[in-house]
């Protein structure tokens, strides 16, 4: 058994009993990275020297009060880390060696003393569903490196699945935590919009972005969210709502839980294999005393179009800050200011980023604003209302995280719309702002993981975690490991 097969709680005990040291944990991380990351490409920047120094420091002064004491973690490369290069996997920020400050989630984490192992690969500026939009070598799926790990938090999911770190942080705008978690067979939580501060997260679509944890178990996930959640005066959109102890919600009791299963989430487009695993999961819930009924989210088929208009519009505004003046890479081929903006941006941004900036600029431009942007905002209301209505009668919504298991590298890169359609089951959750988790629920015939998505009411992550945990504990999918570099 490898060290990262234990939960954070179990490792805490081992540290306390002096069976292991923090340095052992950090060694485990870097050894594993050396062993498999040449194939997986989960990391963009390693924090090795600092991590080893910090581990030594932690070993010299035990602090039982810190809930993530000595636990190796990876951070998605769109989260600001003081003194540590932050690129968003974009050539535009290739030279961004020091963001000068820590994101609020990093400040909150540091109080609980995990060890930051490094920064994780992603689709450039979090735009993508496969990691193939990384401007560096894209991450591969540890279960089978011919397949994509999902995106945009592909590095965050792959690093945990491959046993390189025990937890990671990702960000989710339209499924970017849950979809890669499903593809890589790990647990990924997108909290309620406003639950976690976005201060220091490089903004993609500000009304949709949320930071969340990726872990091997639901318990570890709840433990990390407990640390990073909460109101922050540096983020005016963070909610001033009390953060419960999520780990205390893991009661293993779902008797009487009312589950809604949207028929649209099991419709054509969802592979028979995925459907079968979701039906099996529902049987597990029945055996645990929960009940489920079919419901409808009638507007969910409009979610992808709504999402691409809104997220691209917000992105076109947010990415205006990348002008080559204050940070980032500046084109050397410009002779006046406007030319410098244009050339720096065109040389620094990849194809998908430019496409979305163009779509968003178009949707916000004079004469088209009402027809596209405002229309999409109105449809967003309808999608949100669908969820509100279901949650009047049910505790959680359950379905697949993705229509299919991971697809092959290169399979969907030719047509943006085919790639976008992959997010049809995760996008509505962001539009409604509700929390959603993906937990492993089995494997395809080809041995690729399949994810079960559980969606809850606003600020009711506790019920989402309780539902996810009960399923996890009744099954053994989360104990399976990819065979890359030998099972770890």
Q: How far is the CB of 203 from another protein (least distance, A)?
A: 14
Strand 210-215 relative to strand 187-190, pairing: antiparallel
Kindly tell me which residue out of 149, 155, 400, 433 binds another protein, with binding defined by CB under 8 A.
433
In degrees and rounded to multiples of 5, residue 46 shows phi and psi of -100, 145
17-25, 242-250, 339-347, 442-450 -> range binding another protein (CB under 8 A): 339-347
Active site residues: 76, 152, 176
Give CA–CA dist 235/419, Å, rounded.
31
**342 is an interface residue for another protein by CB under 8 A:** yes
Q: According to CB under 8 A, which residues from 165 to 194 bind another protein? A: 193-194
**419 is an interface residue for another protein by CB under 8 A:** no
**380 is an interface residue for another protein by CB under 8 A:** yes
**389 is an interface residue for another protein by CB under 8 A:** no
Which is nearer to another protein, 24 or 94 (by Cβ)? 94
Kindly tell me which residue out of 233, 245, 258, 263 binds another protein, with binding defined by CB under 8 A.
233
Which is nearer to another protein, 218 or 376 (by Cβ)? 376
Give the residue from 430, 435, 452 showing the smallest Cα distance to 225: 435
Which is nearer to another protein, 362 or 443 (by Cβ)? 362
Binding string, residues 301-330; x marks residues near another protein by CB under 8 A: -x--xx-xx------x---x--xxxxxxxx
* Site residue total, another protein (CB under 8 A): 68
Q: How far is the CB of 91 from another protein (least distance, A)?
A: 13
CA distances from 232 to 190, 240, 363 (A): 18, 8, 32
**414 is an interface residue for another protein by CB under 8 A:** no
Residues near another protein (CB under 8 A): 95-98, 100-101, 193-194, 207, 233, 236-237, 239, 299, 302, 305-306, 308-309, 316, 320, 323-330, 334-343, 345-346, 349, 354-355, 357-359, 361-362, 365, 371-372, 374-382, 384, 416-417, 431-433, 458
């Amino acid at each position: 058994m490898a060290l990262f097969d234990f939960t954070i709680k179990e490792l805490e005990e081992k540290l306390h009993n002096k069976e292991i040291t923090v340095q052992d944990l950090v060694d485990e991380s870097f050894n594993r990275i050396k062993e498999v990351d040449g194939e997986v490409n989960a990391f963009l920047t390693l924090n090795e020297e600092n991590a080893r120094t910090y581990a030594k420091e932690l070993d010299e002064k035990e602090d039982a009060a810190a809930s993530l004491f000595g636990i190796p973690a990876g951070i998605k490369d769109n989260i600001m880390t003081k003194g540590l290069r932050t690129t968003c996997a974009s050539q535009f920020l290739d030279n961004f060696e020091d963001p000068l400050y820590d994101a609020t989630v990093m400040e909150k984490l540091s109080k609980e003393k995990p060890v930051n192992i490094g920064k994780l690969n992603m689709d450039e500026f979090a735009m993508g569903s496969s990691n193939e939009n990384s401007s560096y070598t894209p991450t591969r799926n540890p279960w089978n490196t011919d397949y994509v790990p999902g995106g945009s938090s592909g590095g965050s999911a792959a690093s945990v699945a491959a046993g390189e770190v025990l937890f990671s942080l990702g960000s989710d705008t339209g499924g970017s935590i849950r979809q890669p978690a499903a593809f890589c067979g790990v647990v990924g939580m997108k909290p309620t919009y406003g639950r976690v501060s976005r201060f220091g997260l490089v903004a993609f679509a500000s009304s949709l972005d949320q930071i969340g944890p990726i872990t091997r178990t639901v318990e570890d996930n709840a433990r990390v969210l407990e640390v990073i959640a909460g109101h922050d005066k540096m983020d005016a959109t963070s909610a001033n709502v009390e953060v419960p102890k999520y780990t205390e919600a893991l009661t293993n009791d779902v008797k009487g839980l009312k589950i809604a299963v949207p028929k649209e989430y099991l419709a054509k487009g969802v592979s028979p294999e995925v459907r079968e695993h979701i039906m099996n999961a529902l049987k597990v819930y029945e055996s645990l005393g929960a009940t489920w009924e079919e419901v409808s989210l009638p507007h969910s088929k409009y979610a992808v179009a709504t999402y691409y208009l809104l997220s691209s519009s917000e992105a076109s505004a947010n990415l205006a800050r990348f002008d080559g003046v204050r940070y980032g890479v500046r084109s050397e081929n410009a002779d006046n200011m406007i030319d410098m903006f244009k050339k720096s941006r065109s040389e620094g941004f990849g194809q998908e980023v430019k496409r979305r900036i163009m779509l968003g600029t178009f949707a916000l431009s004079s004469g088209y604003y009402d027809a596209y942007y405002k229309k999409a905002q109105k449809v967003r209301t309808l999608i949100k209302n669908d969820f509100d209505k279901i949650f009047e009668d049910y505790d959680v919504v359950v379905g697949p995280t993705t229509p299919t298991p991971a697809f092959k590298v290169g399979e969907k890169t030719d047509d943006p719309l085919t790639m976008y359609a992959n997010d049809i089951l995760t996008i509505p959750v962001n539009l409604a702002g509700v929390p959603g988790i993906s937990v492993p629920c089995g494997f395809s015939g080809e041995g690729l993981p399949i994810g079960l998505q559980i969606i809850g009411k606003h600020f009711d992550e506790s019920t989402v975690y309780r539902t996810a945990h009960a399923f996890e504990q009744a099954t053994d999918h989360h104990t399976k490991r990819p065979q890359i570099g030998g099972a770890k």
